[in-house]
Amino acid sequence: MPWNNMPSHIKDTLKMEERPSARDRREVIRLVAAEILAVCQNPKKKHLNEIARKMVLAYPKSFKDVIEGDVVGSGYDSLAKQLQCRVDNYQRTQPMIAQSGVDEKSRRRKTEYGCVSPDLVPGNLEVQQKKKEELKKMFENNDQDKKKIEMLMFDTFASQRRDVVDEEDTQTMKAEWPYLFHTTGLKTHFWKLTGVQMDEEFYETMTSKFERILHFFKCQVREKGSHAAELLHDIHSANSSKDPSGAVLMLLLHFKEEERHMFVHVEDTCVSSEVRQENLPSTPCIVVCGDSPLTATGFMVAIDQVVVMERIPTLTNAVVNMFMMYYVMNIDYPAEICTTLEFLQRCIFRINPDHGTKVEKKGKRKRLAVNPRVLSLISKISEYDWME
């Protein structure tokens, strides 16, 4: 690494374990890329990834992709992307250089993306069936024994996954596994599947991150009367309940993704049986009982145009339940809101695979393991944290 060739102020920044400014970071990329191209004018992606990894190992506090202390992806995806862009720009000016294809590892099956326990082998089918029937009976009797529900959901996890992967329709799943669409059962399955536990510590961390995101956007918005400024004002005005999950609306706006693909509005007195199915998307969405997610009287969650959870009191709970459904029900992120969902995945739910993707495939457009726009926002927030 050409650390000794760096300008003195950049060397001082790295020595003090601070994050370089965006301008200084580009200078680092330029110098490192120049050293690479002096040795090999057609480096492969795997070589650039290894160099980015070693840069992060040398100066983790200056270069690692983190937000609120959580590593995003491999931790060096943004450096690797910048190096690749620099090399690509150089190669565009060198038409005689032969471009060799990059051999990529095959993607993980989408059923395993972000999962620590995608177990599909039920074991003793007779025992599994008995426990499944016990769960159905408990639900019919409105049994709220949380510990027993969790235990039985854990024990029948493999059977649940088998039915999900076999693509049983939502109505059938709701009838066969009713607690899978109940907060306790849903969280238990999600925990077993991804290793992420929806406990008190998670909610405290999530709240802190949402507050940080809102504070970042507040400091970025300069133009009064802009859509972003008005939305921030609405979030602040409606935040009497200390629910900062309005940050999701800011993320949608920042990534230029439309709310209607995540939120469907109904009358504030509407119940699940009155929701018109034709107005619902097939992917998980939040049904908002009111004119705005910030002032709604309640929420519901729908999948496959079927309301599966109702009487959700807060936007935070609605966002959490909706997101868990993408993993529990094995559903790809729709392209229309994929960037916002991946940001939530990596920065809020701390699910950080460095291979594969959960974004639905549309056309011939290449799908990247980590969305560059997610990495860009994370870098800006990290830089803002250091500057504050």
The C-alpha atoms of residue 265 and residue 286 are separated, in whole angstroms, by 9
pLDDT band at 157 (very low <50, low <70, confident <90, very high): very high
Answer whether 251's CB lies under 8 Å from 213's CB: yes
pLDDT at residue 342 tops 90: yes
Stated pTM of the model: 0.76
Query: What's the mean per-residue pLDDT of the chain?
Result: 86
> What is the C-alpha R_g of the chain?
23
Identify the residue whose tokens are 């619902």: 280
Higher pLDDT, residue 205 or 115:
205
Q: What is the pLDDT of residues 58-109, one digit of tens each?
A: 999 889 888 767 777 778 888 888 888 888 877 766 654 334 333 333 333 4
Higher pLDDT, residue 164 or 89:
164
To the nearest 10 degrees (0 to 180), the angle between helices 200-220 and 247-254 is: 50
pLDDT at res. 99? 40
pLDDT at res. 98? 37
Which backbone phi and psi does 287 adopt, to 5 degrees?
Answer: -90, 120
Here the tokens at position 51 are 């160099």
Closest to 185 (Cα-Cα) out of 235, 237, 241, 144: 144
3-state DSSP assignment of residue 84: helix
Which backbone phi and psi does 364 adopt, to 5 degrees?
Answer: -100, 5
Amino acid letter, residue 204: E
Q: What is the pLDDT of residues 252-296, one digit of tens each?
A: 999 999 999 999 999 999 999 999 989 999 999 999 999 999 999
Mean pLDDT of 330-348: 94
Q: What is the pLDDT of residues 85-95, one digit of tens each?
A: 888 877 766 65
Report the share of the chain in percent with pLDDT over 90: 51
pLDDT at res. 38? 86
pLDDT at residue 359 tops 70: yes
